[in-house]
Structure 1
């Protein structure tokens, strides 16, 4: 099938990034509802893989952040992803940071965003997941959870546990996001003391929920690419101690080394896209060295081609997720990435 995205991209890139996001999804949802989207998209490539007890139709997923509220699940599934990660959701709805809060850096195939966990609240998201056809047909949907901006670090554990309880019945897996740079002090949860407290709280909550529902849902942790090399050892130890099922490496970066001279290059927020590829791969490598295949790694950050996926596999990733690459390359990137896996 002809790849039409290069023809559409100039129109989308002429719009404000957040407006283009909303416009794109409005059109995708409209096409999906009337049954036409599948006519423009090749059938999903099926390369089944089992990770953490979950059967994925292929190893390429959607990273959290693109569909924060679960409003576009069926359209996204039609694009060919093997799994979708929805969120980040918080206990209460919040509007996020003031606009403008998303910026393109096309010279670097990158984005900077400071969205700030804007979402309608966890309960609204769970209801949308339930209504989606992809969920009802057994599609793999991860729910990415976080804390409200108004919640102090001292009370953060309560927000994460509250979200876990809400998403547990519908989530294929649950991801604790402690690595967004756009909620004040959130990344402090990556420190050894606070991380131990959070993972302990989630571990205890999952034991109770597993008993309640008769099923143990996998729990993932999403980390930043800006950690020091020696941080990965204690993170790996805590993943093992609290039986965390997988680690997602990585979120966006606060580094501006490769983009500081570009327009918008020094905007506040998290940088994603090609400039984060190497630091993400280094994080995957450090984790793999520390974990020795005992905990799977999901590679995220900077994927713009199948070759980028190969680098993440070589570093130790079992699955990958896309976000910014999808905006720059379009849905064809999903197929290009799936083909890399044996």
Structure 2
């Protein structure tokens, strides 16, 4: 899931609103004031959002499953730790048709047939998990930039959902995104699959302002968006919502950047913290489980904060994501055991 952003990007000037005006690929060398969410109106909105993805718990752990072997533990879906509520299968691939995607099992993961893979999807779903298809990655070359490619995207993703039984889609496009047509594509997909689970894994620079294309897409599908699990890594230092620059891998980086999304229009239930499962899983920005848990407590409870403390709490925060379940397994499932348990214990 590494991106390719430089520390220099943090020099972007903040707008008067306090926000900058202006994703997730194959990893390791190759998303105490009273909170607005506590108000009756916000509670109603949160309930409506949650109803669009009933399979996803209030606080969820997302993990990317690698459909390839890059040195991490090779897994089948049935091997993914039970702590993961949303499993994002990585990745769908572009076809020769603009916007359209396809999916092929890599022989390296050991499935003898597509039917065996589909059976594992059903087993995870029977255990209360959501299995979605991730589109993009660092090397993904999928472009949805007009009405025709938007239709192709929606049709192909919908077809793969029907064929494999996927619960939804993860948008992990790291080479640009057109908000107008991606929003159009995802709305068309939602019309076809009303309960679709939709997640996103933008890079930090993509969520610095509601005016950015990724952020606009998230806001454009807010009525059914499940979660934005921004990649808080491979980023270098970035601006927080208070206008200060924070270094990746720290609690302040996680909380001050999450604040931009939380105060920029997304419901707390649509915001998750995305981190590498180990130092080997990304080029930079690894945060130990204790740091991730402290950031979760800071945002949801107002406790355990670093130098940055949000002006309000967000008890409805969706949870956390990691790249990847495979790298987590190679690290003794530390993320699943420590962060997973903590997420499920949030208020």
Task: Tell me the alpha carbon deviations over residues 203-232 of structure 1, each in whole angstroms, 9 at most, x when there is no partner.
Answer: 12331x23xxxx431322321112363346
Deviations 1:260-288 (A, max 9, x none): xxxxxxxxxxxxxx638654543321111
Partner Cα separation in structure 2 for residue 276 and residue 174 of structure 1: 29
- Which of 94, 100, 103 is the aligned partner of 1:122? 103
Q: Tell me, yes or no, if structure 1 residue 134 matches structure 2 residue 139.
A: no
Instruction: Give the one of 296, 303, 307 matched to 2:270.
Output: 296
Aligned match for 2:166, one of 168, 171, 174 = 171
Give 2:279's aligned residue: none
Cα distance in 1, alignment partners of residues 124 and 57 from structure 2: 12
Which residue of structure 1 lines up, in the alignment, with residue 84 of structure 2?
Answer: 81
1:284 paired residue among 249, 258, 279: 258
Contact 1:225 1:280 in 2 (8 A): no
Q: CA deviation at 1:63?
A: 2.6
Structure 1 residue aligned with 2:197:
218
* Contact 1:174/1:220 (8 A) holds in 2: yes
Q: Which residue of 2 aligns with 1:199?
A: 183
CA contact (8 A) 1:122 1:163 kept: no
Which structure ranks higher in relative contact order (CA pairs < 8 Å, sequence separation ≥ 6)? 2
Tell me the equivalent position of 2:20.
Answer: none
Preserved CA contact (<8 Å) 1:306 1:339:
no
Deviations 1:313-335 (A, max 9, x none): 53453121223672674214322
For the pair 1:146 / 2:148, whether they are aligned, the reply is: no
Q: 1:220 to 1:56 in 2, by over 3 A?
A: closer
Distance (whole Å) between structure 2 residues aligned to residue 150 and residue 238 of structure 1:
18
What is the Cα deviation at residue 149 of structure 1?
4.9
Report what 2:249 is aligned to: 275
C-alpha contact 1:60 1:319 (8 A) present in aligned 2: yes
| 8 Å CA contact retained: 1:300, 1:322 | yes
User: Structure 2 matches for 1:312-323, cutoff 5 A?
Assistant: 312=296, 314-315=298-299, 316=314, 317-323=317-323
Q: Secondary structure at the match of 1:84?
A: strand
Helix, strand or coil: the match of 2:320?
Answer: strand
Of residues 219-228 and 145-154 in structure 1, the stretch that sits farther from structure 2 once superposed is 145-154
- 5+ unaligned residues in a row in structure 1: which ranges? 1-16, 20-49, 94-119, 181-185, 259-273
3-state SS, counterpart of residue 292 of structure 2: helix
**8 Å Cα contact 2:145/2:182 also seen in 1:** no
Q: Distance in 2 between matches of 1:129 and 1:162?
A: 22
**CA distance in 2: counterparts of 1:177 and 1:82, whole angstroms:** 18
Aligned length: 240
1:143–1:128 distance in 2 versus 1, CA, 3 Å = farther
Q: Which whole-Å deviations, capped at 9, do the CAs of 1:17-59 have from their partners, x for residues lacking one?
A: 689xxxxxxxxxxxxxxxxxxxxxxxxxxxxxx7853345794
